Amino acid sequence: MELKLVRQSAASVEADAVIVFEAEGGKSFATALPVQYESGEISGKFAEYTLVHNVAGFAARRVLVAGSGKPEGLDPAKLKKLISGALRTLKGKGIRHVAVAVGSGAQVAAAAEAGVVALWEPDQLKTTGKDPDKAIRTVSIAVDSSDAGIDAAFEKGRVIGTALNTTRDIAVEPPNILTPMALVARARAVAAASLLEIDVLDQDRMRQLGMGALLGVAQGSAEPPALIVIRYDPPTGATKDVLGLVGKAVTFDTGGISIKPSEGMEKMKYDMCGGAAAIGAMQAIASLKPGVSVMAIVPTVENMPGSKAQRPGDIVTSLSGKTIEILNTDAEGRLILADAITYAKQLGCTHLVDAATLTGAIVVALGHAASGVYTNNDAFLSTFMAASKDAGEQMWHMPLFDEYMEQLKCVYADIQNIGSRWGGACTAAMFLKEFVGDTPWIHIDCAGTAWLDDAKPHMAKGPTGIPLSTFVNLALSWK
């Protein structure tokens, strides 16, 4: 699919279809489409799509009127949903070239991003039922303005959209193909194409360093683990800060010896989505060149109950020196993140944001509507929340009360890897906090948001790429 920016009006752009917007109660196209307006078919209600052929005054063969709802409610996140939904209603109809007519710079960025991500499908491995002849081949973003900022806005949207698809392409791969070593290969490909430095720690180096928490998780699998580090430095060293993006990448989580029920276990191929988002974010960051150094630190393992697997009752020594009693081998994400966080600090990260499909409990708390975020630094949190809002990724601040730490106290080791039955997302976050220390840090539990279980009008089933856009916006907004 090709994405283009054209400086043309909605009426003059030549395409097989042009997408235009109508707000609730608006009359923008009433002269050209009197019947549709009078019948109430076009009401401007959000995500109402009306396709009309041969509209007088339009060069395009079809006009899709997209209801944009209340004018004050149309932020970039909603606009992306609206445009993605519009593109998806037009797919599979033999329409080759679609134009989207938008206004301001912010709308151009949202439209470009939507133009790239909307048509993504999780069907890479399907050999039948795909009809490439009917696919949309070109999406043009039509802007009737000569404003200079528009090129940059278009580029930002295009780059973030492309990176989201990179992340989704990686995340959608099944766990027999996307092993930790395969993830390393994907990360190397991203780094090479983006001219970024990459360093991959293998099992031997992790042993030398003493990453006992990460290695303990890996030992039940025949697939060797790795720790991926990708680094970006700004062209001019604007700040001394180094932002570390730590992403959980368990390529499959059986639970280990504390094995999960078989029903729904296939979903645990998604347990590398945090890592895939961190890798994809580096691709966008390399293009958009924020003024801060950024590192992705991605620990990758497969959590299996092999004969060498760790047991409940094992005590491991983490890279930090802290000992951890493993009470449940299914609480593995926090173990690999503990060593990755310690390593990120050793590498010089001054700020940390981790993303992990860490707990089922966060899905109980927030459903699929928002990721849960935890922090040890309220100032950093407010910068972060602004970046997430701008990205259109919903995040909800969750607490780290001292009571959660009480639950992790352990007699045999410094800390244990699970708390009690309740507040599981909070005790998981509290566990991570113990390894973060004073470094400003945010933890994103994206277990409910990284994967769409059922297709939506605006998005295919499968990986969403969350929280890649927040990562990128946070780096771009760095002061």
Taking the complex as a whole, the smallest distance from the CB of residue 219 to Zn ion amounts, in Å, to: 16
CB closer to ligand BES out of 113 and 271: 271
Catalytic residue among 81, 248, 334, 345: 334
Taking the complex as a whole, the smallest distance from the CB of residue 187 to ligand BES amounts, in Å, to: 20
- Reply yes or no on whether 88 is catalytic: no
Q: Does 253 bind ligand BES (CB under 6 A)?
A: yes
- Reply yes or no on whether 260 is catalytic: yes
Sheet holding 138-143, edge to edge: 2-6, 138-143, 97-102, 17-23, 62-69, 49-53
CA 331/CA 303 separation, integer angstroms: 10
- Per-residue tokens: 468: 């890649």
The residues in 433-452 that bind ligand BES, with binding defined as CB under 6 A, are 447
Element of type H or E holding 438: none
Taking the complex as a whole, the smallest distance from the CB of residue 310 to Zn ion amounts, in Å, to: 14
Stretch that binds ligand BES, among 185-193, 283-291, 353-361, 387-395 (CB under 6 A): 353-361
Binding site for Zn ion (CB under 5 A): 250, 253, 271, 333
Residue 357 burial (CB < 10 Å; 0-12/13-18/19+)? buried
Residue nearest to Mn ion (CB): 330
Query: Which of the 8 DSSP states describes residue 376?
Result: S
How many residues are present in the chain?
479
CB closer to Zn ion out of 165 and 219: 219
The residues in 281-320 that bind ligand BES, with binding defined as CB under 6 A, are none
Structure-token match 């959000």, residue found: 46
- Per-residue tokens: 46: 């959000």
Q: Does 277 bind ligand BES (CB under 6 A)?
A: no
Which does residue 447 touch among Mn ion, Zn ion, ligand BES, none (CB within 5 to 8 A, set by kind)?
A: ligand BES
CA nearest to 84, candidates 41, 62, 116: 116
- Per-residue tokens: 279: 């890798």
Taking the complex as a whole, the smallest distance from the CB of residue 217 to Zn ion amounts, in Å, to: 9
Q: Are 311 and 257 in contact (CB under 8 A)?
A: yes
Which does residue 328 touch among Zn ion, ligand BES, Mn ion, none (CB within 5 to 8 A, set by kind)?
A: ligand BES
Taking the complex as a whole, the smallest distance from the CB of residue 394 to ligand BES amounts, in Å, to: 18
CB closer to Mn ion out of 33 and 276: 276
CB closer to ligand BES out of 67 and 247: 247
Stretch that binds ligand BES, among 44-52, 229-237, 327-335, 457-465 (CB under 6 A): 327-335
Q: Does 332 bind ligand BES (CB under 6 A)?
A: yes
Query: Which of the 8 DSSP states describes residue 369?
Result: S
CB closer to ligand BES out of 1 and 400: 400
Q: Cis omega (within 30 of 0) on the bond before 467?
A: yes
* Binding residue for ligand BES, selected from 22, 48, 173, 271, defined by CB under 6 A: 271
Measured CA to CA in angstroms, residue 167 lies from 1, 71, 163, 173, 179 at distances of 17, 32, 6, 10, 15
CB closer to ligand BES out of 424 and 467: 424
* Binding residue for ligand BES, selected from 273, 288, 296, 418, defined by CB under 6 A: 418
CA 445/CA 329 separation, integer angstroms: 19
Taking the complex as a whole, the smallest distance from the CB of residue 273 to Zn ion amounts, in Å, to: 10
CB closer to ligand BES out of 249 and 475: 249
Taking the complex as a whole, the smallest distance from the CB of residue 444 to Mn ion amounts, in Å, to: 17
What residue type is assigned to position 214 of the chain? L
The residues in 355-394 that bind ligand BES, with binding defined as CB under 6 A, are 357-361, 363
Strands, E, within 236-312: which ranges? 242-247, 249-253, 293-303
Taking the complex as a whole, the smallest distance from the CB of residue 253 to Zn ion amounts, in Å, to: 4
- Per-residue tokens: 50: 């009306």
Taking the complex as a whole, the smallest distance from the CB of residue 433 to Mn ion amounts, in Å, to: 19
> What angle do the packed helices 180-193 and 149-171 form, to 10 degrees?
160
* Binding residue for ligand BES, selected from 173, 330, 339, 390, defined by CB under 6 A: 330
- Spell out the residues 6+ positions from residue 111 whose beta carbon is closer than 8 angstroms to its own: 79, 83, 100, 102, 141, 157
Element of type H or E holding 81: helix 76-90
Cα 145–chain centre separation = 32
Q: Are 269 and 174 in contact (CB under 8 A)?
A: yes
Catalytic residue among 78, 260, 322, 389: 260
Q: Are 292 and 475 in contact (CB under 8 A)?
A: yes
Which does residue 359 touch among ligand BES, Mn ion, Zn ion, none (CB within 5 to 8 A, set by kind)?
A: ligand BES
CA 278/CA 58 separation, integer angstroms: 43
CB closer to Zn ion out of 231 and 368: 368
Binding site for Mn ion (CB under 5 A): 253, 330, 332
Site residues (CB under 6 A) for ligand BES? 253, 271, 328, 330-333, 357-361, 363, 418, 424, 447
Q: Which residues are catalytic, by number?
A: 260, 334
